[in-house]
Structure 1
Amino acid sequence: SNDPGGINLAQAQSDPRSARDRNLSFDGGEALEQTRLGFIYSLPMGEGSELQVRNYYVSRDFSNRLPFFGGGSVDLQRFFAGGGISYTHEGSLGGRPNRVVVGLDYDDQNDHRRRFNNNMGMLGALTLDQDELVTSTGLFVQDELSISDNVQLSFGLRFDEVEFDVGDRFLGNGDDSGVRRLDDVSPMIALLANLSPEVTVYGTYSTSFETPTTTEFANPSGAGGFNPLLEPQAATNLEIGLRGGVGNRTRYELAVFDIDVEDELIPYEIPGSPGRDFFANAGRSNRTGLEATLSSQPTDRIGITLSYTYADFAFADFVDDNGNDFSGNRIPGTVEQLLFAELSYRHPAGWFGALDALHVGDQFANNANTVSDDAYTLANLRLGFDASRGGATFSPFVGVNNVFDQRYNSNIRLNAFGGRFYEPGPGRNVYAGVSVNFDLR
Structure 2
Amino acid sequence: MLKKSALTTLFIFAVLASNARQPVDSVQMLRPVTIQGYFGSQPALTLPSSVSVITRNDLQAQQPYSMVPALNAVPGVRMEERSPGSYRLSIRGSLLRSPFGIRNVKIYMDDFILTDAGGNTYLGSVDAEGVGGLEILKGPEASVFGANTGGVMLIHTKTGSRDSSHIRAGITGGAYGLLYQKASLYQKRKNGDISISEAWQRSDGYRDNSAMRRNYIHVAPSLSYSAGARLKALILYSDMDYRTPGGLTESQLKENPRAARPATAVTPGAEEQKAGIRNRTLLTGLGHELRFNDRLRNVTAVTYSNTAFKNPFITNYEVRNENSIGLRTYFELTSREASVRPWKIQLGYEGQHSGADISNYGNRRGLRDTIQAADDLSTNQKFFFIHMSANLSPALLMEIAGSYNFYNYRYSNIAPVASGPYRRTFDNEMMPRIAFSYLLHPDVAIRVSASRGYSPPTIAEVRASDNVINTSLDAESGWQYEAGIRLSLFHNRVYWDGVVFNFNLNDAIVRRLSQSGNEFFQTAGRTRQNGFESQFLAWLIPPRETGFFRALRFSNSYTLSAFYFRDYISGEDNFSGNRLTGVPRHMVVTSMNFRFPAGLSLNSQHSYSSRAPLNDAGTVYSGEYHLVQLKAEWSQKRMKSAFFSAFLGLDNILSQNYSLGNDLNAFGGRYFNPAPVANFFAGINVNF
1:9 corresponds in structure 2 to: 250
Aligned residues with identical type, % of pairs: 22
Matched, 1:142 2:383: no
Question: Structure 1 residues 387 and 189 mapped into 2: Cα distance closer, same or farther (>3 Å)?
Answer: farther
Report the CA distance between 1:132 and its aligned residue: 2.1
Q: Deviations over 1:228-255 (max 9, x none)?
A: 1111111211010000122120100110
Q: 1:43 to 1:389 in 2, by over 3 A?
A: farther
1:223-242 equivalences under 5 Å are 223=468, 226-242=469-485
In structure 1, which of residues 27, 36, 42 is the aligned counterpart of residue 274 of structure 2? 27
Which whole-Å CA distance do the structure 2 matches of 1:39 and 1:432 have between them?
38
Counterpart CA distance in 1 for 2:453 and 2:339 is 31
Secondary structure at the residue paired with 1:424?
coil
**Does the C-alpha gap of structure 1 residues 6 and 44 become closer, same or farther in structure 2, counting only changes over 3 Å?**
same
Query: In the TM superposition, what is the alpha-carbon distance from 1:412 to its structure 2 partner?
Result: 1.5
Instruction: Choose the corresponding residue for 1:328, options 556, 561, 577.
Output: 577
Query: CA contact under 8 A between 1:34 and 1:58: conserved in structure 2?
Result: yes
Of 499, 520, 523, 1:278 maps to 520
Q: Distance in 1 between matches of 2:458 and 2:684?
A: 35
Query: Is the CA contact 2:504–2:526 (under 8 Å) kept in the aligned structure 1?
Result: yes
Offset from partner CA, 1:194-234 (integer Å, 9 cap, x none): 000011000010001111211111257644xx311111111
Query: Counterpart in 1 of 2:453?
Result: 208
2:466–2:519 CA contact under 8 A, matched in 1: no
Partners of 1:124 and 1:53 in 2: CA distance: 45
- Determine the structure 2 residue equivalent to 1:411: 661
Which structure has the highest strand share of the two? Answer: 1
Q: How far apart, CA to CA, are the structure 2 residues paired with 1:121 and 1:347?
A: 52
TM-score (norm 1): 0.90
Alignment equivalent of 1:173, drawn from 386, 404, 417: 417
What is the CA–CA distance in structure 2 between the aligned matches of 1:63 and 1:169, rounded to whole Å? 18
Distance 1:34 1:24, change over 3 A: same
Deviation at 1:395, TM superposition (A): 6.5
Give 2:612's match in structure 1, choosing from 357, 360, 363. Answer: 363
CA distance in 2, matches of 1:352, 1:176: 62
Q: 1:73 aligns with which of 317, 321, 333?
A: 317
Could you give the per-residue CA deviations for residues 335-362 of structure 1, whole angstroms, max 9, x where no partner exists?
Answer: 1000001111346876543111111110
Q: Aligned residue for 2:488?
A: 245
* CA shift digits 1:379-411 (9 cap, x unpaired): 112244486999998776543221222110122
Report how far residue 435 of structure 1 moved.
7.0
Alignment partner for residue 265 of structure 1, among 509, 513, 522?
Answer: 509
**Would the aligned equivalents of 1:37 and 1:57 in 2 still touch at CA under 8 Å?**
yes
Structure 2 Cα separation of the partners of residues 94 and 262 of structure 1: 43
Segments of structure 2 that go 5 or more residues without pairing to the other structure are: 1-241, 263-268, 544-550
Q: Is the counterpart of residue 156 in structure 1 residue 397 in structure 2?
A: no
Distance 1:83 1:303, change over 3 A: farther
Contact 1:258 1:288 in 2 (8 A): yes
Aligned residue for 2:505, secondary structure, equals: strand
Is the contact between residue 349 and residue 382 of structure 2 (CA under 8 Å) also seen in structure 1?
Answer: yes
SS at match of 2:252: helix
Relative distance call for 1:48 and 1:389 in structure 2 (3 A) is farther
1:45 positional shift:
2.1
Distance 1:80 1:391, change over 3 A: farther
Q: Which residue of 2 aligns with 1:289?
A: 531
Q: How far has the Cα of 1:373 moved from its partner? A: 0.7
- Aligned partners of 1:406 and 1:427 also within 8 Å: yes
Cα offset for 1:329? 0.4
Distance 1:230 1:390 in 2: 62
CA distance in 2, matches of 1:388, 1:39: 38
What's the counterpart of residue 255 of structure 1?
Answer: 499
User: What is the CA-CA distance between 1:8 and the residue it aligns to?
Assistant: 0.7
How far apart are the structure 2 equivalents of 1:435 and 1:280? 48
Secondary structure at 1:11 match in 2: helix
> Given the superposition, is the C-alpha separation of residues 210 and 392 from structure 1 closer, same or farther in structure 2, using an over 3 Å criterion?
farther
- Alignment-derived partner of residue 43 in structure 1: 290
Number of residue equivalences = 429
Q: Give the distance between the partners of 2:640 and 2:283, measured in 1 at CA.
A: 27
The answer (yes or no) to whether the contact 2:373–2:467 under 8 Å persists in 1 is no
Which of 562, 582, 595 aligns to 1:312? It is 562
Report if the CA contact (8 A) 1:52-1:87 is conserved: yes
Alpha-carbon distance in structure 1 between the residues aligned to 2:281 and 2:607: 30
> Using a 3 Å threshold, how does the CA distance of structure 1 residues 151 and 137 change in structure 2: closer, same or farther?
same
**What's the offset of the Cα at 1:167?**
2.9
CA–CA distance in structure 2, aligned partners of residues 350 and 39 of structure 1: 41
Contact 1:131/1:166 (8 A) holds in 2: yes
Greater Cα shift, 47-56 or 35-44: 35-44
Distance in 2, Cα, partners of 1:388 & 1:238 = 53
- Report which of the two has the higher share of helix: 2
Equivalent residues of 2:326, 2:352 under 8 A apart: yes
Is 31-40 or 372-381 further displaced after alignment?
Answer: 31-40
Aligned partner of residue 462 in structure 2, secondary structure: coil
- Partner AA of 1:89 in structure 2: L
1:96 aligned counterpart, secondary structure? coil
Partners of 1:386 and 1:396 within 8 A in 2 = no
Deviations 1:269-310 (A, max 9, x none): 1112x1x43211111101001001110112212211100000
Higher relative contact order (CA 8 A, sep 6+): 2
Task: Give the alignment's Cα RMSD to 1 decimal.
Answer: 2.5
Is 2:301 aligned against 1:57?
Answer: no
Residues 1:96 and 1:56: Cα distance change in structure 2 (over 3 Å): same
CA drift of 1:47 comes to 1.8
One-letter code aligned to 1:280: Q
* Whole-angstrom distance in 2 between the partners of 1:131 and 1:389: 59
Letter in 2 for 1:25: E
- Quick check: 51-60 or 102-111, which moved more? 51-60
Change (3 A) 1:221 1:252: closer
**Partner in structure 1 of residue 141 of structure 2:** none
Question: Structure 1: which amino acid aligns with 2:437?
Answer: L
Deviates more, 1:37-46 or 1:410-419: 37-46
Change (3 A) 1:98 1:111: same
Per the alignment, residue 650 of structure 2 pairs with: 400
The 3 A distance-change label for structure 1 pair 41 and 357 is farther
Any idea what SS the aligned residue of 1:297 has?
A: strand
Give the conservation status (yes or no) of the 8 Å contact 1:220–1:227.
Answer: no
336-345 vs 113-122, which deviates more? 113-122
Amino acid at match of 2:378: L
2:439 aligned with 1:189: no
